[in-house]
């Protein structure tokens, strides 16, 4: 019982939580991004809102970059903090620009996606990531020099 009520999580627990968050949100967002990518590279007309003075094609391309490319980066934990920024911006635009006049239920999904991207921006990718594998040797080297 004491372990369940502990407010100080273990480092391993945090790393596992970040891994689960990264993998889950990346796969879920890919389900939204892949159909947009098909539309972007398909032959049919682009049916996407023109956002912030950008054309519909550019808006769609930016959404595809965020939802597909950045989601793949987050999935592997490569440049996670940087990859979270375009996704965060995309969700802010979706919730508070595209769906501004809509009822809260229409904004809710974008806001729900926004939350894990804020967490990943603040926390990074954790130990179970490519970021850790790449940066760990230089971090150990830096510690040994001190």
Each of the 146 residues of the chain gets a pLDDT tens digit; together they read 777 788 888 888 899 999 999 999 999 999 999 999 999 999 888 999 999 999 999 999 999 999 999 999 999 999 999 999 999 999 999 999 999 999 999 999 999 999 999 999 999 999 999 999 988 876 555 555 55
Q: What are the structure tokens assigned to 16, written together?
A: 């596992």
Measured CA to CA, the distance from residue 48 to residue 36 in angstroms comes to 9
User: Which residue in this structure is represented by tokens 């809102």?
Assistant: 49
pTM for the complete prediction?
0.87
What contacts 93, CB < 8 A, 6 or more positions away? 51, 52
Domain ranges of the chain: 11-145
* pLDDT of the residue at 74: 98
Q: Length of the chain, please?
A: 146
User: Which residue in this structure is represented by tokens 């159909």?
Assistant: 35
């Amino acid at each position: 019982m004491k372990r369940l009520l502990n407010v100080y999580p273990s480092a391993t627990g945090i790393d596992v939580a970040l891994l689960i968050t990264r993998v889950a949100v990346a796969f879920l967002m890919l389900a939204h991004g892949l159909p947009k990518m098909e539309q972007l590279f398909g032959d049919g007309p682009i049916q996407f809102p023109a956002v912030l003075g950008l054309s519909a094609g550019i808006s769609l391309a930016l959404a595809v970059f965020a939802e597909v490319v950045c989601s793949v980066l987050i999935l592997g934990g490569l440049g996670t903090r940087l990859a979270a920024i375009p996704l965060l911006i995309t969700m802010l635009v979706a919730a508070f620009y595209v769906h501004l006049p809509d009822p809260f239920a229409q904004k809710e999904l974008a806001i729900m996606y926004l939350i894990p991207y804020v967490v990943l921006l603040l926390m990074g990718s954790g130990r179970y990531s490519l970021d850790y594998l790449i940066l760990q040797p230089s971090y150990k080297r830096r510690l040994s020099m001190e």
